[in-house]
Amino acid sequence: MKTPACSLIPAILLMSLAGLLSVGCKQKGYADNSVLNNTSSIEASDDSSQNCPTRSIKGDSTANFLIDNNYANGTNPYYKKDVAMIYYTTNFISYNNPKCGSNFCTVSLMIQNLIGKTFSFSANFNYGGNDTTIKTITVEPNGNTDLGKIFAIHSMSSCESPFVSLNLQGTISYH
């Protein structure tokens, strides 16, 4: 017995519709090369894959004594004494491409204890009109405390001399 042709038409239409739907779906992760922000287009046109190494040029260093001027009714054994040496160092950081970032200058701080006792203090540091306050700095006996970078200031070509003013916040405490 033969199947009439008109009974096959709905089955053919249903299969055609299913085929059209499956062709319209794209596989996950599909890359359309006609899209402007395709990865290969980004790499070729806008340097987004640009390697961004930095160049660091060590600048000047200066050192200042930290002198304890707290008389404390005559009970401070370190009154008018050099209790620490404070070292400031500048570094100029530059990028090979302006798209990687802006050039800047850093000022780093290291404190060397000159006495045989641990001490702590708080201070405000000023460099070129920029302030940084550090609440508690503790320096071990005859040791060093490296606070690292305390300033990062945009600069086009170099760093100024690292003249940093220090203002004690309170007094130096010894423990």
pLDDT value of residue 2: 53
Is 47 a domain residue?
A: no
Residues 88, 93: Cα–Cα separation, whole Å: 16
pLDDT tens sequence across 17-67: 344 333 433 333 333 333 222 222 224 345 455 678 888 888 888 999 999
Distance CA 124, CA 167 (A): 5
Give me 157's structure tokens.
Answer: 């070509």
Indicate whether 21 belongs to any domain.
Answer: no
Number of domains into which the chain is organized: 1
pLDDT digits (tens, 9 = 90+) for 114-130: 999 999 999 999 988 88
The pTM (predicted TM-score) of the whole model is 0.65
Cβ pair 137, 129 in contact under 8 A: no
Q: What range defines the domain where residue 133 resides?
A: 54-174
Residue 15: its pLDDT value, please?
42
Residue 152 belongs to a domain with what CATH number? 2.60.40
Average the pLDDT over 135-153 and give the result. Answer: 93
Both tokens assigned to 78:
């370190």
Q: Is residue 75 part of a domain?
A: yes
**Burial (0-12, 13-18, 19+ Cβ within 10 Å), 70:** middle
In a domain? residue 20: no
Q: Which residue has the higher pLDDT, 4 or 118?
A: 118
